[in-house]
Amino acid sequence: MKILSVETSCDETSVAIVEDGRKVLSNRIYSQIDIHKKYGGVVPEIASRNHVVKLPYIVEEALSESGLGFSDIDAIGVTNGPGLVGALLVGVSGAKALAYSLGLPIIGVHHIEGHIAANFLQYPELEPPFLALVVSGGHSHLVMVKDYHTFEILGRTRDDAAGEAYDKISRVLGLGYPGGPAIDKAAKAGDPHAIEFPRVFLEKDSYDFSFSGLKSAVLNYLNSMKMKGQPVATADVAASFQLAVVEVLVEKTIHCAVENKMDKICMAGGVSANSLLRSMMQARADAAGIALYYPDPILCTDNAAMIGSMAYYNYLNGDLSNLYLNAVPSMKIGSQHKK
Ligand code: KG4
Ligand code: ZN
C-alpha cells in the first residue's frame, strides 16, 4: 500500500510516499529555516503563507522522486495536530483536495506519533512495545508505546520543551536559529564541566521534565558575567548547558525503562539528532542491557515520511478520517485511534 503523506505542522513543508509503513519511496522536505532565521524563531503566519505557496510543488517533487504517478497512490496521510493551527490547516486542506479529487481515503496523523514512527522506517524489524523519548521543539515526552495505536504518556515537560530550551539559549548566545544544531556544534569546542548548571530531576520517581530553571540559570550566569565585565566563553556555556539537558534526558529515560521492564528504547523528534544525547544514551542503554533505536537525523526533524508510516498503521487499525477532517492544534496523543 502506497501512502502519499503531507506534513506542515511547523516550518517544514514536506511530502513523502511510503510503502506499507516501512519503505520510503520519496521524502521531500522544504525547510523555511532561512525565512524565519532573521526573526529568531518561527513566525506562524509566515509559515502558513509559505506552506500555501510551496505545497503543490513539493507534491510534484515527491511524485517525481518516487517515479510514481497519482494513479499509483492508495491513500493520503496528513498531520492534523498538534502544531501551529494555520500551518496545519494548509496541509489538511491540501491533503483533502488530493483525497477528494483522486477519490482516495484520507488519514489524519498525530505529529508526535509520526515522530515515533520514524523509527519504523529506520528499523524495518522494530515492533512495539517500547519506551519512546520524544524530544522536539514543542514536546518532551516519555511515552510507552504498547502497540501501534496505544500510547501512554508517562512523563512530559512541565514548562519548556528540550528543543525550545536549546533554541532560547542559542539565541542569547548569539548562535542563531535553530538552536539545537548550533549548540551541538559549538559545544564540541567547549568544556562541558566549565560551569555547573542545575539538573532538575523533580520529585523522586517523577518522569516529568523541567527545563525553565536551567534556562534561567544560564541567563543569570550570562548576566552576572556581563555585570562583572568578564568575557563569556560561548563554547563552554553551550557545552555545559547541553550536558545539563542531556544528563536529565538520559537518566530519566533509562530509569523509566528499567522501572517498567522495557528492553527497547526509541528516540524521536528533532533533539534526538543531538550527538551527545545519542552517545550518552547509547552508553547507558548498553550498560543496562537495553536496545536503543534512533532514526537518521533527516528522519528526526519534521518530515512527511514519518507521517506516511504512522498513517499506514492508522489505516490497518481502521482509523480513517473523512473530508470533515480538521486541524487540532493541541491534539492529545492516541486520541484519533479506535481502541
Ligand atoms: O521535531 P522538530 O523538527 O520539530 C518539532 O516538532 O518541534 O524539532 C525541532 C527542534 C528544534 O528546537 C531544534 O533546535 C532541535 O529540534 N534540534 C536539535 C538538534 N537538531 C534539531 N536539538 C539538539 N541537537 C540537535 N542536533
Ligand atoms: Zn516535530
Question: Does position 66 have pLDDT exceeding 80, yes or no?
Answer: yes
* CA geometry: angle 174, 176, 178, nearest 5 deg: 145
Give, as residue ranges, everything with CB less than 5 Å from ion ligand 2: 136, 302
**Residue owning the nearest CA to atom 18 of ligand 1:** 180
How does residue 339 score in pLDDT terms, banded at 50, 70 and 90?
Answer: confident
Ligand nearest 273 Cα, by number? Answer: 1
The CA distance from 25 to 74, in Å, is 14
pTM above 0.75, yes or no: yes
Q: Which pLDDT score, from 0 to 100, does residue 36 have?
A: 93
pLDDT in tens, 23-42: 999 999 999 999 998 898 89
Ligand with smallest separation from the Cα of 270: 1
Q: What percent of the chain has pLDDT over 90?
A: 96
Binned at pLDDT 50, 70 and 90, residue 204 comes out as confident
Is 178 a pocket residue for ligand 1 (Cβ < 6 Å)?
yes
The string of pLDDT tens digits covering residues 222-280 is 999 999 999 999 999 999 999 999 999 999 999 999 999 999 999 999 999 999 999 99
Q: Where are the beta strands (DSSP E) in the chain?
A: 2-7, 12-19, 23-31, 75-81, 106-110, 130-135, 140-147, 150-156, 264-268, 291-293
- Ligand 1 atom having least distance to the Cα of 269: 1
Q: What pLDDT is stored for residue 330 in this prediction?
A: 95
Residue nearest to atom 19 of ligand 1 (CA): 180
User: In the block, which residue shows the cell 520517581?
Assistant: 205
Q: How far does residue 68's CA lie from ligand 2's centre (Å)?
A: 27
Ligand 2 centroid, distance to 225 Cα (angstroms): 35
**Best CA proximity match to 105, nearest among 144, 76, 134, 79:** 76
In order, the DSSP letters of 174-190 are: T--SSHHHHHHHHHTTS
Residue 181 Cβ < 6 Å to ligand 1: yes
What confidence tens digit (pLDDT) does each residue in 233-249 have? 999 999 999 999 999 99
First to last CA, the chain: 23
Is residue 155 in contact with ligand 1, taking CB distance under 6 Å? no
Q: What is the pLDDT of residue 41?
A: 87
Task: Tell me: pLDDT of 312 over 80.
Answer: yes
Burial class (CB in 10 A: 0-12, 13-18, 19+), 2: middle
Q: What average pLDDT does this structure show over 166-193?
A: 96
